[in-house]
Structure 1
Amino acid sequence: MAPLPATQRDRLRDLLVRHPVARAQELRNAGIAAATIARAVKDGEVERVGRGLYQRPDATIDVAHALAETAKRIPKGVIAMVSALAFHGLTDQMPRKVWVAIGPGDWSPVSSYPPTRIVRFSEKYLRQGVEHHMISGVSVPIYSIPKTLADLFRNSKLVDRSVAVEGLRAALDLRKATPAEIGQAAKAGGAWRIMRPYLEALTFNG
């Protein structure tokens, strides 16, 4: 078993190598004092990217990394809508904000980095179809493909219907979900009446 790094600064470096995105509480739990974190930020060794959220300056920032940071900042949230669709590789759109679903009474964070688009789902829909994916050492809750498609069709006022249809077509063409799985999620997610003609057309004509 490898020995623990000797100094707080060493522990800070080690933790940010293993977990590229870290919350202040996690750093404190590792025995790293706030003063040590502040000095590392001042020295340019650590970058503060949001309230209580830290990473190395040379950390690679990409779409998946933004999802990990968002999961850290909004622990009760679930990556949803266009962001979930993009994560699953079912759209060419790269959303400029991370879409996150939270409950009707959950705290909505103040805008920070990365920028987020909050949607509120009732408890009935919030806990359906949640998967967990490891990204940058973070377990990120993301809606499954069938659940994401149901949400997109149900919330056409938030996202253009063409995005939902594009995602549905891609899911079928790439065989990332079966018509039965998609239809079941649509029925559970209150989107079956809207989705049904599109699913039937794409299934029968595909």
Structure 2
Amino acid sequence: MMRLSEFLKEGVTSVTIARMEQKGALNQLSRGLYQLPDAPLDGNHSLAVAAKLVPHGIVCYDSALAFHELTDRIPPYVWMAIGPRVWRPEIAQPRIQIVRLGEKEFESGVEQHVIEDVVVKIYSPAKTIVDLFKSGKRQEALYASTAGFTHATQAMRDALRLRKATPAEIAKFAANAGVWEQIVQPRLETLVANA
């Protein structure tokens, strides 16, 4: 999987790429992104495509949960976080939902995974859970809905049960995000006490 700019850097012209695409030797995945037609596809193929299209982005929310196998939901699009001053790309295909995070939030809890030879930045399970609680707090304030908290609590339960996150990791990220005392702490204490 390569971007047009990577081809050009290697000395392959856009005319050559167009010819290869016409002959079926190259598939266009999205504007400026290409892949060989017989390339093996990973179950997380859409995350690799999103990482190429949003090079400064980090996989977050339900997409990160799905990658870490902490949800049964299949996200309808790839959730990508970008920093506060990063250019927000306009992407038609695949469906990518972009959220903007503050500098401190954006840079913490990042893991790197290789999917189809593409380095993909994905938030850790503990960071993802805290991000979901923070999103749930906004949902409650805007829509008077507690669905976000329910989803985040279930993800936290699964992460603790599968040992993909520890209470200490969750507490650290929650304290840094300002959602520890009133939102995460009581739910985490209940889950740990019932374990």
- Give the TM-score of the pair, scaled to structure 2: 0.90
2:119 paired residue number: 139
Q: CA deviation at 1:190?
A: 2.2
Q: Does 1:181 align with 2:161?
A: no
Secondary structure of 2:47's match? helix
Q: CA deviation at 1:51?
A: 1.4
Contact 2:82–2:100, Cα closer than 8 Å, also in 1: yes
Secondary structure of 2:92's match? coil
Q: Following the alignment from structure 2 to structure 1, what is the Cα–Cα distance between the partners of residues 73 and 41?
A: 18
1:35-184 aligned at under 5 Å gives the runs 35-61=15-41, 63-156=43-136, 157=138, 160-184=148-172
1:16 paired residue number: none
Contact 1:151–1:191, Cα closer than 8 Å, also in 2: no
Query: Identity of paired residues, percent?
Result: 46
Which of 178, 190, 195 is 1:201 aligned to?
190
- Give the TM-score of the pair, scaled to structure 1: 0.85
Which amino acid is 2:16 matched to? T
Secondary structure of 1:175's match? coil
Which amino acid is 1:199 matched to? L
Q: Following the alignment from structure 2 to structure 1, what is the Cα–Cα distance between the partners of residues 60 and 12?
A: 34
Q: CA deviation at 1:31?
A: 2.0
Secondary structure of 1:160's match? helix
Q: Runs in 1 of length 4+ with deviation above 3 angstroms? A: 58-63
Q: Following the alignment from structure 1 to structure 2, what is the Cα–Cα distance between the partners of residues 50 and 168?
A: 34
Stretches of structure 2 lacking an aligned partner (at least 5 in a row): 140-146
Q: Following the alignment from structure 2 to structure 1, what is the Cα–Cα distance between the partners of residues 41 and 97?
A: 19
Query: Aligned residue pairs: how many?
Result: 186
Q: Which moved more, 1:170-179 or 1:184-193?
A: 184-193
Q: Following the alignment from structure 1 to structure 2, what is the Cα–Cα distance between the partners of residues 108 and 62?
A: 26
Q: Following the alignment from structure 2 to structure 1, what is the Cα–Cα distance between the partners of residues 129 and 158?
A: 11
1:9 paired residue number: none
